[in-house]
Amino acid sequence: MSKGTIRTLIMADSQADRVVPPSGFTAQLTLFVSGAMAFLAVFALALSLASGRLADRWASELARAATLRINAPADQVAAQTRAALTILRQTPGVAEARALTREEQAALLAPWFGADLPVDALPVPQLIEIRGGEPGYDAQGLRLRLVAEVPGAVLDDHTRWRAPLVDAAHSLRRLALVSILLIGGATAAMITLAANAALAANAQVIEVLRLVGARDRYIAGAFVRRFTLRALIGAAVGMVLGMAGVMLLPEASDEGGFLTGLGFQGLGWLLPLVIPVLGAVVAFAATWAAARRTLKELT
């Protein structure tokens, strides 16, 4: 395709477009398919963004926060806490280790047991908050050393139960991206079918155009502009409806967790605007290929 071809194809030429009769069902098929696909693409895009965000957040929390619990007889708690803090400060990759104060521990328990809980009177384990650095610490090595030197220490680095979640979030994002590709492929296939049907239905028109001196590029361009425009309009409508659907989802909240975080955030709201453009590009390429093929076959 030369630069001139692309220019003629893109330039709005209403006179040239009229030479192809408006064809009912292929027009509706293209509008509907690109609309439906754009609608689905909005959700796939939202899913991929949300699962990506989730995977990132979980992964970084996982790398950082960990808790050390000291479960020891009351008279040994203070000594074991000190020993654990010493070990932690010597461990490479630990940025900060801090024993929670009684008040902080009481605050953590308050939601379950009420604010008046006498923490002192209960055998509540001492908690040590650990923040990992970059790169992180070796959890396995730390655990071994603690077993040997601080018998009451239990390292809870969230890895055990969060790592599979991060994997799940990553696979979810991969699935969403594959869905977007499939949506694009299916759109291309359907529009190719519609374009082929329109070209076949207009074989007579194409013959007349050739008899009066139209070049194949001109004839193809008339079809391509039609289908590109329809796909653009259909996809724009589908995108708007999809965005409305996403907007109606509940706000992101901690209680709702993943499901409520499904929407777009910040500049992410602009991303779906790409969908109609991509739809138009797909329709352009599909119709162009179909037209070239059909025109080569028609003698």
Partner 1 sequence: MSPIGLRRALKLHPPSGKKGDEPAGGRILIELENVGYSYGGGELLGDISVDLSPGSFHFLTGPSGSGKTTLLKLCYGALQASAGQVRGFGQDLRRLDRDQMALFRRRIGVVHQDCRFLDHLPLAENIALPLTVSGHDLSGQQENLGELMAWVGLTKRADALPPELSGGERQRAALARAVIMSPDVVLADEPTGNVDWEMSQRLLQLLIELNRMGKTILIATHDLGLIRAAKSQVQARVLRISNRRLQLAGADL
Query: Which residues of the shown chain bind partner 1 in the complex (CB under 8 A)?
Result: 15-16, 18-19, 21-22, 205, 207-218
- Beta carbon of residue 213, minimum distance to partner 1 (angstroms, whole number): 4
Which residue, 66 or 295, has its beta carbon nearer to partner 1? 295
Task: Locate the DSSP E strands across 76-219.
Answer: 94-99, 126-132, 153-156
Which residue, 15 or 90, has its beta carbon nearer to partner 1? 15
Which residue, 213 or 266, has its beta carbon nearer to partner 1? 213
Q: How many degrees, rounded to 5, is the angle at CA 180 between CA 179 and CA 183?
A: 85
- Beta carbon of residue 210, minimum distance to partner 1 (angstroms, whole number): 7
Q: Cα separation of 41 and 220, whole Å?
A: 28
Q: How many degrees, rounded to 5, is the angle at CA 100 between CA 99 and CA 101?
A: 115
Which residue, 122 or 211, has its beta carbon nearer to partner 1? 211
Q: Cα separation of 175 and 44, whole Å?
A: 9
CA distances from 38 to 30, 192, 295 (A): 12, 17, 30
- Beta carbon of residue 42, minimum distance to partner 1 (angstroms, whole number): 36
Could you tell me if residue 158 is left (phi over 0), alpha (psi between -120 and 50 degrees) or otherwise beta? left
- Beta carbon of residue 18, minimum distance to partner 1 (angstroms, whole number): 6
Q: Cα separation of 297 and 250, whole Å?
A: 54
Which residue, 18 or 82, has its beta carbon nearer to partner 1? 18
- Beta carbon of residue 13, minimum distance to partner 1 (angstroms, whole number): 9
6 alpha-carbon distance from chain centroid: 33
